[in-house]
A = this chain, B = another copy of it.
Amino acid sequence: MAAIRDDLTYAFGAGRLTPQRQTIAESARSLGRAFTIDDLAEEARYRDPSIGVATVYRAVSAMEATGWLERVGERAGSVLYAQCGAGDRHHHHLVCTSCGRVEPAECPLHDVAAHAATSGFVITNHEVTLYGLCPACLATGS
């Protein structure tokens, strides 16, 4: 069963769930992998051609603010997003560099945080992203 934040009704928090936003959120979920704004706009406009690109940008900003989407890297100058697959739990990401599949990864930074403390730095935030090949892409050799 999915974590509560995976439910579409949480995508926009206190914001309105308009028909356009619903289409955009469903598009994001249906992609099932990391995507650029352009990827998402293409899918959303396939379902409803009247949706403007600016609306997709605004919807992504809103979904990122609630944590329903996360940025997981970049591709050719564009930000890569993925639906958060682990609810509220603190985690990071495995990103398949071939197909874009994304899987949550444990946070490995407890030791490093301790080390940093001895150097005088106080860590307030961190980013971890792993890139590689998912089982499917390994099997097909792509």
Binding site for B on A (CB under 8 A): 94, 96-97, 103, 105-106, 108-109, 111-113, 115-116, 119-135, 138
Contacts and interface: CB of A to CB of B under 8 A. Distances in A.
Contacts of A132: 116, 121-125
Contacts of A135: 120-121
Contacts of A106: 111-112, 115
Contact of A131 (B115, B120, B125, B134): B125
Nearest to A97: B124
B109 A97 contact: no
B116 A124 contact: no
A94 B123 CA distance: 8
B130 A121 contact: yes
A46 to B, nearest CB: 29
Nearest to A73: B127
A131 B122 contact: no
B119 A126 contact: no
